[in-house]
Amino acid sequence: MNRSQFSLLVMCLTLFLTGISTHKASAQAACYAAWNATTAYTAGQTASYSKTVEERDIQLFAAMSGDHNPVHLDPEFAAQTMFKERIAHGMFSGALISAAVACELPGPGTIYIGQTMSFQKPVKIGDTLTVRLEILEKLPKFRVRIATRVFNQRDELVVDGEAEILAPRKQQTVTLPTLPAITIG
Amino acid sequence: MNRSQFSLLVMCLTLFLTGISTHKASAQAACYAAWNATTAYTAGQTASYSKTVEERDIQLFAAMSGDHNPVHLDPEFAAQTMFKERIAHGMFSGALISAAVACELPGPGTIYIGQTMSFQKPVKIGDTLTVRLEILEKLPKFRVRIATRVFNQRDELVVDGEAEILAPRKQQTVTLPTLPAITIG
């Protein structure tokens, strides 16, 4: 057994024994190597992924999706709505859920099969969202059901839901490309 | 009845009689005034929203979500995967679904309650996606169930699913803010 195999064994054993894997992911993303699906996934295993919603995120989401609704972009308009201030696009939380699954648990190599989302509370600019993942069930053929719940900084549930994914069949170590600089305005 | 009321009546009648409302939305978005929920929504009513997936969209999604996985960003890495080339983030289709609901049917003022998505096929850069919406059921208290199916340019279903939304209670005419210029690289 070489050094990297030993390190992997220690990591897998730690994961198995504690059933918990928690990382804080910055806006710059933190994708890690995926674990071997046959040994590392157990029901109850958890991970999390956090991000503060910035003005910039709302503008990028609007540009990428084409949804320029003023409740997301215009402070004066939003002040007249039931929300009293601008809110993030609901599917912004969906994007964070997908990043959590793709970067944290199971991580790189995961294939998305399905996602349910139930939007519980609005998300405001400046809120810090934490996606909490928990493996609910291992299904045949590497399919895994994962609870995907999003909380704000007051620990209020803003999005409830579940993902179904196809876990990577073997460990993957990926190098994360650096994005070109994005300038707004 | 003044001229604008008459125009609205004609539009509503047209919508009611044909049961069909179809718009092509550009990448610059096309949000229209919302219809009065009590008169204009009927089961079977449809709308659509189209967008071609550009390199730029993948980079904006990666920056906004934090998911820099190389299967989305690195052509050489992606060539070695089962997909053979880079694919869009799965939730990119989710962002288009949310834009379709927020911009087309019901349109501005809609509140998202829930979304299910079943990912059927990968989406490649250059694919033209069309979100097809169809009202399935009107529920009590302005809640509406909408089929949200995404097709590629070969008319293959790439994402199946349903949205549940709270329809606007009264007609809304919104002015769409112009986004500041976004420069990549």
What is the count of residue pairs from A and B with beta carbons less than 8 Å apart?
A: 201
What pLDDT does residue A3 have?
53
Cross-chain CB nearest to B112 (options A60, A113, A119):
A119
Q: Is the pLDDT of residue A36 over 90?
A: no
> The whole model's pTM is what?
0.82
Q: Kindly report the nearest CA distance between residue B184 and chain A, in angstroms.
A: 4
Q: What's the CA dihedral at A73, A99, B89, B130 to 10 degrees?
A: -50
CATH number assigned to the domain with residue range A46-166, chosen from the 4 options 3.40.50.1220, 3.10.129.10, 3.30.910.10, 3.40.50.970? 3.10.129.10
Residue of A nearest to B178 (CA): A68
Chain B residues in contact with A53 (beta carbon < 8 A):
none
pLDDT at A160: 98
> Residue A7: CB partners within 8 Å, gap ≥ 6?
none
In chain A, where the domains are located: 3-38, 46-166
Distance from CA of B142 to the nearest CA of A (A): 16
Nearest CA in chain B to A66: B29
pLDDT single digits (tens) A100-134: 999 889 888 899 999 999 999 999 999 999 999 99
Minimal Cα distance from A119: which residue of B?
B113
Asked if B123 and B92 touch (Cβ cutoff 8 Å), the reply is: yes
Q: Which two tokens stand for residue A92?
A: 């912004």
In B, minimum Cα distance to A32 occurs at B69
**Out of B26, B31, B66, closest to residue A69 by CB:** B31
Are residues A64 and B60, on separate chains, in Cβ contact within 8 Å?
Answer: yes
DSSP-assigned letters across all residues of A103-160: HTSS-TT-EEEEEEEEE-S--BTT-EEEEEEEEEEE-STTEEEEEEEEE-TT--EEEE
Query: What is this model's ipTM?
Result: 0.81
